[in-house]
Amino acid sequence: MTAQERRTAVIRAAVTEFARGGYAGTTTAAIARRVGVSQPYLFRLFPDKRAIFLAAADHCTAEIRRAFERAGEGLEPRAAHDAMAEAYTGLTADRDKLMFQMQMYAAVYTAESDGDEEFAARIRAHWNELFEAVHLRLGADGRETADFLGTGMLINVLLALGFPADHPLWVACGHDHPGKRRYG
């Protein structure tokens, strides 16, 4: 593998490890083991755990943003909304990616508590880019953008907490459990 291919493998492994253990609970040794490299080699690719987490955050949010941009490209706002929602349904199928998103929020809180505003700001910047991409696809309508992203966050929470497809909260939020259409 080239160094770039190894970097990509490390980022993917980091998403899985951080999703399961959080920032504080994940060691670089666990990430290195998952990739099949030594820790010294890992540190030739990334200077520290913080850089690995930030690269994983970039990877995760960029993947969502690209999926939304592709899905909504050339569509009117209502059609873009529906296409982006369908695209996100596909992304939520990977529980590690979903849980990594949740860990990103926790990492921002922890970073701010520890006085590492730069770390928190970098993760917030990824989400700001995601917001802007959705906002443009939805015709720059702030209310539609907030509703779309807010519903997405509610769906993330329902999925992360394991609410079953027939739970009334799915009905209350106005959506089916994403797996219901895929598997039901």
Average pLDDT for residues 15-38, to the nearest whole number?
A: 96
pLDDT at 12: 97
Looking up tokens 């690269």 gives 55
Domain ranges for the chain, please list them.
49-183
**pLDDT tens track for 124-136:** 999 999 999 999 9
The first and second tokens of residue 27, run together, are 């060691």
Report field, pTM of the whole predicted structure over 0.95: no
Distance in angstroms (rounded) separating the CA atoms of residues 178 and 66: 20
